[in-house]
Amino acid sequence: MTWNRSLTIIGILVWIGVIALLVWAGGQNPTPRPVAALAYSDFMSKLDAGQIKTATIDGHKIEGTLTNSARYSTLTPDDPSLPTQLLRHRVHVVVSPPEPGSVFLTLLTWVPFLLIAAIWIFVLFSSRGQTGGRFGFGKSRAKLITPTQTHPVTFADVAGIDEARSELQEIVEFLKSPQKFERLGGRIPKGCLLVGPPGTGKTLLARAIAGEAQVPFFSISGSEFVEMFVGVGASRVRDLFEQAKKSAPCIVFVDEIDAVGRKRGLGYSGTNDEREQTLNQLLVEMDGFDTREGVILLAATNRPDVLDPALLRPGRFDRRIQLSNPDITGREQILLVHVRKVPLAPDVDIRALARGTPGLSGADLANLVNEAALLAAHRNEAQVSAGDFDDAKDKIMMGSERRSLVMSAKERKITAVHESGHALVTLYSPDHDPLHKVTIIPHGRALGATLSLPERDRFGYSRRELTTRLAILFAGRVAEEFYFGSNDTTTGASDDIKQATELARRMVCEFGFSSKVGLVSYEDDEHGSGYESFLSGRKTMSNETAARIDEEISRLTNDAAQSAREILSGHRAELDRLVGALLEHETLTGAQITEIVQPNLPMVPDKSDLLTAAQ
């Protein structure tokens, strides 16, 4: 404290001295009196005539008075004999020292460099003995959440990840009663790594552990460690663990740890000194603290494959907990958590809503409930109804309605024909998910949409199911060809063709669904195509294999388009009725489409009974 006060006083004195110097230098430059400027030749003529009385020499400039008391000024060349000539003509000669103004200009030239040096010296000495430095560059930016918060997060706020919650329950027990484990020689893991896709509740689960254990919770992102200056990240790691040890027992949570924990020495420029020093310091700190201190390190990432192996070895992140998107039971529990403060209408069925949202994460479901509540509030409703949830689901999946978009009659008919083709092939394909809704109201960037929702969770697809998906994707283009001819088809199928091509490529290169290519994986890597690796620059397949893959992709897409063509040509009358109904009503549900197309058409079996039996 005394050292810092002395530095502050010295800094104030320095600034006072600089201001005084500026004031003094400004006062030493009064406005000069006007003088007559002489050419050098005129000056020499007057000197020969004896008209020069005094001369003050300042470098190449001479000022003085004439015999008639007039003042003069002239510039002279570099002439060593000039002083001798002046003395021979009995001129009073004075050699002037450098003016204060020139000293001031010289000093002013060095002021920026002196200030920079002074600032660095000031920062260097003032940071000694202080954690994080004078200006807090090395201070940890972790947010501290204490148990005294009004509404702490607990396991009651976490749903759909029961397996992960049960694995972390023993950490809560250790923080509450460590003696229970220590008496039998047990050692709680120093670190737990939460791995899962975005939105699966990694951060929420970490906060729930701290809330259940009633201990402080330090939260920081991996990107907050790394700065431009080498050594700052390592200093922040040290400061974070020092704070954690002072607050023990506690939990330290590092979100997106892959930002600082990537494998060392794999950068495009060879290395990254700041990130690697930060990672090294993190590894040292994890080795340096004892589990008996009550500090538990939790980290979250959705890229565990890029983490450094030293970070995952036993003794550091001993345990890896995998989180995934919830199943139907988990989605129902998550929805029940998020609708606790939402007034629901009697027609809302949470179980049915969970069945209609397969593949959605916990964050997606929270957003669904929020969007439904906003829609109900916008419509001035007292409760959130099933229709609000249905509209919110469509908004999330397809985008907001664009009823302000003006479409011509021809464009509306083209859209109706295109979507009717998708819907009809879906309806006559028992190997595909049931048809949910068809609309020609523009949503987002799409002029229309056809939605199918699975009624159970899917963990794998057969070759027949994927082939059926290809046929459905090409059904819109085929329907346009039936109505308008191949020369008048539109660009509306561009996204369908892109999806179908990608699906066919994966069937050939990843899933092994091609007898000509065989059971060999040519999956694209992260940085380039499967034909040539971006990092190594070498080919991963021969030219013959690449040509064979192209042939198989073309065969799959052409066969799928032909399958769609056969279905639509065999049900042309039903296609016409569906187009007319879409032009009239704009939006139709799956049940309405079935009734319009063919009232006696056998419906795709309801799989809810099978789902209930499986559970």
Q: What is the pLDDT of residue 554?
A: 94
Res 423 pLDDT > 80: yes
Res 26 pLDDT > 70: no
In percent, the amount of the chain with pLDDT more than 70 equals 75
Quick one: how far is CA 3 from the chain centroid?
Answer: 43
Res 353 pLDDT > 80: yes
In percent, the amount of the chain with pLDDT more than 90 equals 16
Q: In this structure, what are the phi and psi dihedrals at residue 9, rounded to the nearest 5 degrees? A: -65, -40
181 or 383, which is more confident: 383
Q: What is the pLDDT of residue 592?
A: 87
609 or 522, which is more confident: 522
Instruction: Label residue 326 by pLDDT band (50, 70, 90).
Output: confident
Q: Which of 419, 480, 481, 574 does the annotation list as catalytic?
A: 419
Q: What is the pLDDT of residue 605?
A: 39
Quick one: how far is CA 474 from the chain centroid?
Answer: 35
Average pLDDT of span 372-380: 92
Res 418 pLDDT > 80: yes
Average pLDDT of span 302-328: 84
Q: How far apart are CA 223 and CA 233, in angstroms?
A: 9
Q: E strands, 118-247, where?
A: 143-145, 191-195, 217-221
Q: Which of 450, 383, 455 is nearest to 421 (CA)?
A: 450
Res 289 pLDDT > 70: no
150 or 67, which is more confident: 67
The pLDDT tens digits of the residues spanning 242-255 come to: 888 887 778 888 88
611 or 597, which is more confident: 597
Taking the alpha carbons at both ends of the chain, their separation in whole angstroms is 68
The pLDDT tens digits of the residues spanning 101-116 come to: 555 566 666 667 677 7
54 or 138, which is more confident: 54
For residues 580 and 494, is the Cβ–Cβ distance under 8 A? no
For residues 407 and 415, is the Cβ–Cβ distance under 8 A? yes
Res 34 pLDDT > 90: no
392 or 614, which is more confident: 392
Q: In this structure, what are the phi and psi dihedrals at residue 36, rounded to the nearest 5 degrees? A: -90, 125
Structure token pair of residue 562: 């032909």
Query: Which amino acid, residue 238?
Result: R
Q: What is the pLDDT of residue 316?
A: 81
* Average pLDDT of the chain, as a whole number: 77
476 or 229, which is more confident: 476
Q: What is the pLDDT of residue 538?
A: 52
Average pLDDT of span 339-363: 87
Q: What is the pLDDT of residue 130?
A: 44
Res 499 pLDDT > 90: yes
Instruction: Label residue 100 by pLDDT band (50, 70, 90).
Output: low
Q: What is the pLDDT of residue 602?
A: 46
Q: What is the pLDDT of residue 143?
A: 64
Lowest average pLDDT, out of 176-185, 203-212, 262-271, goes to 262-271
Structure token pair of residue 547: 């040509």
Q: What is the pLDDT of residue 121?
A: 62
3-class DSSP assignment, residue 516: coil
Q: What is the pLDDT of residue 603?
A: 41
Q: Which of 356, 349, 361, 266 is nearest to 308 (CA)?
A: 266
Average pLDDT of span 65-86: 79
Average pLDDT of span 14-27: 58
| Range ranked top by mean pLDDT from 179-193, 221-235, 329-343 | 329-343
Q: Is 224 a catalytic residue?
A: no
The pLDDT tens digits of the residues spanning 533-570 come to: 444 445 667 888 889 999 999 999 999 999 999 999 98
| Range ranked top by mean pLDDT from 307-321, 354-368, 371-385, 420-434 | 371-385
Q: How far apart are CA 142 and CA 220, in angstroms?
A: 5
| Range ranked top by mean pLDDT from 306-320, 443-457, 478-492 | 478-492
186 or 99, which is more confident: 186
Q: What is the pLDDT of residue 184?
A: 73
Instruction: Label residue 526 by pLDDT band (50, 70, 90).
Output: very low
DSSP class of 291: G
Q: How far apart are CA 62 and CA 64, in angstroms?
A: 7
59 or 513, which is more confident: 513
Average pLDDT of span 115-138: 54
Quick one: how far is CA 478 from the chain centroid?
Answer: 40
Res 213 pLDDT > 80: no
Q: E strands, 177-234, where?
A: 191-195, 217-221
Q: What is the pLDDT of residue 132?
A: 46
Lowest average pLDDT, out of 42-56, 73-87, 97-111, 474-488, goes to 97-111
